[in-house]
Structure 1
């Protein structure tokens, strides 16, 4: 878990610098009408944190396997209007939500990392879900945010 905490802390520090080095056009441009802008991708990462905070907490005390509730990612991004919000607000939200994720991870007793959750396709452990959280985050950061002109 220490590696995951370090990775999240890394992005809490680095991502604002990366975004602040980009032009407004670069962060707001949608490469295609049905694709998110870099600003909306950051909002999506906030939504992921919100949903996973709930999961990481509930798995620890709910009957196993805890059934993961999916969410409509497109609607979450649209309804919260990340595209129309100031970048600074979204960056602060990203940082604060991920500080909370770290707080939760740091306080999970080791034996609870083996607790099971039902993802809809399979059963996985809480530890797997936490690893998947950072893998998902880094996928979006490395494949869409940090490259010039994402698709």
Structure 2
């Protein structure tokens, strides 16, 4: 299976973290902030946005002309706009965690069925920066783990 390593790394983590996240109390998920001034709620929401945007890129890159012009939600502060506009801070926590879980599981499904002939197709990530479909998928676990590390740090802060 294509990207089996990525899937085998992330799938157990998604299930483990979904249980861990759901058990966190409201004060913890709402008040503690990371260096970007994001709460755990907002980090989880950002991860939903990331998985969703990457799913859309993976689909578009398989049938549209390369290099693909696709909005990069993560630059120029746009990811913070996404977090604010969607108001993850006030979303029902149980629903948000389920959305996080299933958005990531769906992304894993999508990458498991990518046409190998499309792996070198590119999207324009920024001025003078193009990323292939393969690079995007292979980089996803790093981004995923980065945000889980941020959440873990916030969980383990001793007040």
Normalized against structure 1, the TM-score is what? 0.88
Note the alpha carbon deviations across 1:34-78, whole angstroms, 9 max, x for none.
611011100110011111111110011111111231121111111
Aligned to 1:111: 117
1:146 is displaced (CA, Å) by 1.1
Unaligned runs of 5+ in 1: none
Q: In the aligned structure 2, how far is the partner of 1:58 from the partner of 1:76?
A: 21
Equivalent residues in 2 for 1:24-103 (5 A)?
24-31=26-33, 35-71=37-73, 72-103=78-109
CA separation of 1:33 and 1:81: change in aligned 2, threshold 3 A: farther
Residue 131 of structure 2 aligns to a residue in which SS? strand
Aligned to 1:135: 142
1:124 is displaced (CA, Å) by 2.3
Residue 119 of structure 1 aligns to a residue in which SS? strand
1:32 is displaced (CA, Å) by 7.1
CA separation of 1:23 and 1:5: change in aligned 2, threshold 3 A: same
Q: Conserved in 2, the CA contact under 8 Å of 1:18 and 1:146?
A: no
Structure 1: 4+ residue segments shifted above 6 A: none
1:8 is displaced (CA, Å) by 2.4
CA RMSD of aligned residues (A): 1.8
Note the alpha carbon deviations across 1:108-129, whole angstroms, 9 max, x for none.
1222112222212322211101
CA separation of 1:36 and 1:60: change in aligned 2, threshold 3 A: same
Q: In the aligned structure 1, how far is the partner of 2:91 from the partner of 2:124?
A: 34
1:10 is displaced (CA, Å) by 2.0
Normalized against structure 2, the TM-score is what? 0.84
Q: In the aligned structure 2, how far is the partner of 1:68 from the partner of 1:129?
A: 13
How many pairs align? 148
